[in-house]
Amino acid sequence: MESSGLMEDIASAGNRLLQNTQSLILNMNNNAAETYNSVVAKFVGGKKINFAIKGDYGVRCKEAAISYNKRQHFIATLHQTITIQELGKHSQSFIAKLKNKGSKRSLIGPPD
């Protein structure tokens, strides 16, 4: 097996698996396209939607894109701009937790 190079191929596949063990265990994903698709699924609601309504799905995809690019704070900012009032107590605490979580993540992990 060693003379044919098969053992080396098996060892390199095993090493790659060992290097990615942590992300495989935690089911982590750093693929931007899949992350965006998960945000779209959140906005669509995972339900069957009448896509015949003009622009309905497109609007949801645009919301998801903006939300992904702005790191989830777009809807709160939009709400405050439109209604000219502050969010409720629970929404404010939720956004504060998101910001805190993001700041901890950037301190520990690689910079975004």
Cut 0.75: pTM above it: no
Cβ atoms < 10 Å from Cβ of 43: 17
Cβ atoms < 10 Å from Cβ of 39: 20
Cβ atoms < 10 Å from Cβ of 22: 9
Cβ-contact 42, 65 below 8 angstroms = no
> What's the pLDDT tens digit per position in 10-69?
888 888 888 877 776 776 666 777 777 777 777 666 655 565 666 677 777 777 777 777
Q: What is the model's pLDDT at position 30?
A: 65
